[in-house]
């Protein structure tokens, strides 16, 4: 029985192997069946879809591009919308309509409805139809992505059958600044002046790290105590800032208009490129001047005054005027035209003046001290005209900008001479002092001529007598 005998353990192993193989075969058979069924379904579905698209119109709407990209807040953006027909049936009377919403609005004169017309079967890709729309972006819009709704429908069926699609538009803030020069338009040569520039953020995005500078190519106008460059760390939307400079114009500069070149640089966060705003401002050097008026001399009621141009600019069409005032009266004209006066020049103007008998008010005389006022007021007395020491003189002139201006001066009168005293007495009494008579130049000339005539007549008489 030994040769026919089979080991029981070996028999169990053989049976186990056979069972595993049978199980794998069954699984393979089942998987293959499922795959076959799925393949048949896919082929059938594809055939059905193909058959369906061949007999229908499939309209596709998409954003092809935009200009600018991204759209800038406050500016106009042009959208190019592509319309395709992926079906086998023509689409007729196709209408495309934009539905603007914040931050977009239609540009005035532009229509949100566009007629696409007929789109042929399978008209897609490079053959698609392009429709353009122009929109304005709100200037206060924040940076980001905004949805814009588009409707596609057949003409006359807008409210019945339509396809709605939303496209995304990128919006960026507009960074922009402007230089407003509003402070000074005129500089007097040799005089230090504070000049202010105003920088205004007129964009819709904050500005950072701004650099402002200015220069005058002729170097007639220069900053004092600092250089010509200033920095601004941050400037928010709608805000402005002032930059101050102490400047001075060359004292020898010719009057006229000088050009200032202004520059503002900052980084554009949208493009990453440094932007520069360069502009020009006009600065006039010249303008007004100043005068010094001094009493020169007086004789028989004629008072002379020295007029000097002590300013930095010439004065044109200069007139000297004695305005109406209580302490003085003018005999004849109260003004004298002396023409043009360059800086540093002087001339003399004379007037026939009479002093009033008494002062009507102590306040008329700016030279009288408080102590003297108190002394006279305590005695309830008026100050006689002999103590009137001042007179008001006005200088009217045209400055280098063509403006007519008037400068007033209070001039001290020194009436210590014999003629001044006699003039004062004449103004009070109407007649000369009998003990003090002033001999004028005319009288001296007449006396000399008389003496010459006497000598000539005497010599003729003597010759005749000798003959």
Please compute Rg for the chain using Cα positions: 52
Q: What are the contacts of 106-109 at 24+ separation with CB within 8 A? A: 106/133, 106/134, 106/135, 106/136, 107/76, 107/134, 107/135, 107/136
Token pair 């049978």: residue: 22
Specify the pLDDT at position 389. Answer: 78
Q: Rounded to whole angstroms, how far apart are CA atoms 139 and 74?
A: 4
The per-residue b/e assignment along 123-146, b for 16 or more CB within 10 angstroms, e otherwise, is bbeeebbebebebbbebebebeeb
The total of other beta-carbon atoms located within 10 Å of residue 439's CB is: 8
Backbone angles phi, psi at 53, to 5 degrees: -65, -30
How many other CB atoms are found less than 10 A from the CB of residue 306?
Answer: 15
Q: Give the pLDDT of residue 467.
A: 60
Please report the beta strands in 107-206, taking only residues with DSSP state E, as ranges in sequence order: 113-119, 129-137, 144-154, 162-172, 177-180, 186-187, 193-201
- To which residue do tokens 């701004």 refer? 210
Separation between Cα atoms, residue 266 and residue 252, nearest integer Å: 37
pLDDT of residue 4: 42
What is the DSSP annotation of 375-409?
HHHHTT-PPBGGG--EEEEEEEEE-TTS-EEEEEE
Can you give the pLDDT at residue 252? 87
Q: For residue 228, what is the DSSP state?
A: S
pTM of the complete model? 0.49
Task: Quickly count: other Cβ atoms within 10 Å of residue 90's Cβ.
Answer: 13
pLDDT tens for the 467 residues of the chain, in order: 334 433 444 544 544 545 555 554 554 555 656 666 566 665 555 454 444 566 788 889 999 999 988 888 888 999 999 999 989 898 899 999 999 999 999 999 999 999 999 999 998 888 899 999 999 998 878 888 999 999 999 998 888 888 999 999 998 876 677 777 777 778 889 889 999 999 988 877 788 889 999 999 889 999 998 899 999 998 888 889 999 999 999 988 888 899 999 999 987 766 667 888 888 888 899 989 999 999 999 888 899 999 999 998 999 999 999 999 988 999 999 999 999 999 999 999 999 998 875 444 444 454 445 555 554 444 444 444 445 478 999 999 999 988 999 999 999 987 554 344 444 444 433 433 333 334 456 667 777 788 888 787 777 777 776 66
Strand partners, 346: 308
Residues forming beta bridges with residue 248, ordered by sequence position: 222
Distance CA 235, CA 199 (A): 9
| pLDDT recorded at residue 147 | 93
List beta partners, residue 262.
214, 279
Q: At a CB cut-off of 8 Å and minimum separation 6, what does 325 contact?
A: 364, 391, 392
Q: Is the peptide bond before 103 cis (omega within 30 degrees of 0)?
A: yes
Non-local CB neighbours of 67 within 8 Å, separated by 6+ positions = 77, 78, 80
Determine if residue 422 is left, alpha or beta; phi over 0 gives left, psi from -120 to 50 gives alpha, anything else beta: alpha
Domains of the chain: 59-172 (2.60.40.10), 177-285 (2.60.40.10), 291-429 (2.60.40)
User: How would you classify residue 225: left for phi > 0, otherwise alpha for psi between -120 and 50, otherwise beta?
Assistant: left
Reduced to 3 states (helix: H, G, I; strand: E, B; else coil), residue 6 is coil
CA 230 to chain CA centroid, Å, is 17
């Amino acid at each position: 029985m030994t040769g026919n005998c089979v080991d029981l353990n070996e028999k169990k192993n053989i049976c186990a192997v056979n069972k595993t193989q049978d199980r794998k075969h069954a699984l393979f058979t089942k998987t293959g069946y499922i795959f076959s069924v799925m393949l048949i379904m896919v082929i059938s579905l594809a055939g059905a879809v193909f058959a369906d698209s061949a007999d229908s119109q499939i309209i596709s709407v998409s954003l092809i591009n935009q200009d600018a990209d991204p759209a800038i807040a406050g500016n106009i953006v042009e959208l190019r919308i592509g319309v395709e027909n992926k079906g086998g049936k023509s689409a007729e009377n196709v209408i495309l309509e934009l539905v603007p919403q914040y931050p977009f609005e239609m540009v005035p004169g532009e229509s949100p409805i566009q007629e696409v017309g007929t789109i042929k079967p399978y008209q897609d890709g490079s053959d698609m139809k392009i429709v353009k729309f122009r929109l304005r972006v709100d200037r206060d819009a924040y940076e980001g992505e905004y949805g814009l709704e588009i409707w596609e429908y057949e003409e006359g069926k807008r409210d019945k059958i339509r396809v709605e699609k939303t496209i995304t538009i990128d919006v960026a803030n507009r960074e922009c600044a402007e230089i407003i020069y509003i402070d000074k338009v005129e500089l007097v040569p040799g005089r230090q002046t504070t000049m202010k520039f105003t920088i205004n953020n007129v964009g819709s995005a904050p500005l950072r790290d701004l650099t402002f500078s200015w220069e005058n190519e002729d170097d007639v106008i220069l900053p004092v105590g600092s250089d010509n460059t200033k920095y601004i760390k941050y400037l928010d939307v709608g805000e402005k800032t002032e930059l101050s400079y102490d400047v001075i114009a060359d004292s020898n500069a010719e009057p006229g208009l000088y050009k200032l070149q202004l520059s503002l640089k900052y980084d554009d966060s949208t493009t990453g490129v440094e932007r520069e705003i360069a502009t020009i401002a006009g600065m006039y050097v010249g303008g007004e001047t100043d005068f010094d008026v001094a009493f020169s001399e007086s004789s028989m009621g004629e008072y002379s005054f020295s007029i000097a141009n002590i300013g930095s600019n010439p004065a044109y069409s200069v007139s000297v005027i004695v305005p109406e005032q209580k302490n003085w009266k003018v005999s004849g004209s109260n003004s004298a035209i002396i023409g043009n006066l360059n800086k540093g020049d002087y001339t003399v103007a004379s007037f026939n003046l009479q002093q009033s008998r008494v002062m009507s008010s102590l306040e008329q005389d700016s030279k009288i001290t408080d102590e003297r006022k108190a002394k006279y007021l305590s005695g309830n007395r008026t100050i006689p005209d002999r103590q009137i020491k001042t007179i008001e003189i006005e200088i009217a002139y045209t400055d280098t900008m063509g403006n007519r201006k008037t400068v007033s001066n209070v001039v001290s009168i020194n009436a210590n001479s014999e003629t001044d005293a006699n003039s004062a007495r004449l103004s009070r009494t109407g007649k000369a002092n009998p003990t003090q008579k002033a001999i004028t130049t005319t009288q001296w000339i007449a006396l000399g001529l008389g003496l010459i005539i006497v000598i000539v007549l005497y010599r003729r008489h003597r010759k005749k007598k000798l003959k």
